[in-house]
Structures are given as structure tokens and as C-alpha cells.
Copies of this chain bind each other. A is one copy, B any other.
């Protein structure tokens, strides 16, 4: 298939490599084109604008940092919507519901939201979990590429923003699990109980899920650098959840707790800590 991908950061780069590996005909674009060098060497074509990339593809994937970047690449000068002919656009980025809505309204059935769960190592291993929403035929069209980059595709509806909402809820749930473990571990530590012993019981009983296994060790060891997912990006995502909650009139007090701890972590420890550093904020407040 003729595929294009816009955005070659840690996630986008790994996804691009897997698309290429699966034998698709790949065009790439990135704001700083140097990131495309290895891919071009591997057979990809470099486009100079999003529109040019899209013009050469049946499907164009976007994997960008935030709303602003997706807006620019889609609606901006030489953006996707300037391509002729227009192709299917699959948005992999974590963006606001408002932007997802705007993308869906502007592109109709030619737009699918498909944000992913998984960090760069999972992306590299083609083990992402993909949450897709959009027109069934459009999702079916993209499925071979989803299969090349992920282990499973969850279809959550025909209205594209639904997938973005699931993604935001998932990130909120991750932070919630970290918050809960962080508070429990602070209580344990101040009572002289070994955090590891607590963790072993938890994961050996009701809490044996990846979210606990992935983040527990950092909380036990207090290791928050280097960041797998930096706290400011976590804050950005929690702000998107808050924006959705405000829009839908949903009080979410646990979300408030998480945001305050992220603000504290960033204020005191800097922009380069992992989002799990809310565990350090919790411990600091207990005088640990």
C-alpha cells in the first residue's frame, strides 16, 4: 500500500520502520528532515511538505506532539487538506476531543482517529495497542497498516473523537494507578514497611496488571530520570482530560489530585522527570 507518515519522533520513527518492514511503499515527512535520513536510506521517500506526502499516499498517518502540531500539519499552508487528491488520514496522536471533532468534521469518512497505547520500545516491537474510531470501511482500509505496527486494534465506534476519549481515559487511569501506589507506598514507608513487600502482595493478588508492574519499580526505587514519558507531557494530557471533563460537566476530583501532584513534581524537580514522579511529590509531602 502507498502509505505516508508525518512526524518521525521516537514513536513516529519506530512506527515508520515497521511500516517499511511490512513492505509498504512509504513516504515520510518531518519538520526537521534530518530525522528521515535512515528511513530514506531504508527505502522511504522524503516529502518536503505534508501536502506532498499526502498526495503520494492512499493513507497518511500523523504522529505529532500536540494539538498545535496536528492543526498546522492538517489545516496549515501545504497541509494535508491542500493535497490533491485527498487521501485517508489516520490520526495516531494524543489530541484534544475538540481537535478530534474538528478533524472529523473537516474530513468526514476520510478521517480515522487511532491513538495508541505503548511506549517507544513497544512501538519498535510492533506491539502497540491501537484504539480506532471512524467509518468502518476506512478502518478496514487502514487495518493492514495497523497490523504492521501493533498487536491489537480496538474499534470503539464510528465517531472519531471516541477513540481520543478512550486514549485520554487510559492515560488518566495510568496516572490514577501511580497515584494510588504512591500514596500506599508512602504510608508503608513511614510505617517501616518495605515497599517491595507491599508491591509483591499487591501484584500477587488483585493488582497483577501491566500498569502496576510497569510503574511500581520506579516508585520503589525512587528513580524518575530519565523520563520514559516526561511529566510536562503527562500534564498536557491531564489538561486535555480536564478540558473534556469541563466541557461535559463531569467533576473528577481524582484528576485534580493528579494534576496538582504533576504541577508539584515539575515545579520542584524540573521538566525532565517522568510522569511517575508524582510518587516523589507524594513522598516529599510526607517528609520522606
Contact = CB atoms under 8 A, between A and B. Distances in A.
Interface string A199-219: 011101111111110100000
A20 interface: no
Copies held by the complex: 4
B206 A208 contact: no
A202 B170 contact: yes
A205 B251 contact: no
A125 interface: no
Given A169-B188, A206-B209, A260 B266 contact: no
A242 B284 CA distance: 18
A266 B253 contact: no
A165 B188 contact: yes
B251 A261 contact: yes
A183 B264 CA distance: 13
Interface string A105-128: 000000000000100000000000
A184 interface: yes
Interface string A163-193: 0011001101110110111011011101111
Contacts of A251: 259-261, 263-264, 267, 282, 285-286
Contacts of A157: 193-194, 197
Contacts of A165: 187-188, 191, 193
Nearest to A196: B156
A198 interface: yes
A81 interface: no
A211 B259 CA distance: 24
A204 B154 contact: yes
Interface residues of A, number: 79
A67 interface: no
A97 interface: yes
A245 B257 contact: no
Contacts of A255: 183
A2 interface: no
Contacts of A201: 129, 131, 154, 156, 166, 170
Nearest to A251: B260
A204 B170 CA distance: 11
Contacts of A184: 169, 172-173
16 contacts: A156-B193, A156-B194, A162-B193, A169-B184, A169-B202, A170-B202, A180-B180, A183-B253, A183-B254, A235-B246, A246-B263, A249-B267, A250-B263, A257-B257, A268-B285, A285-B285
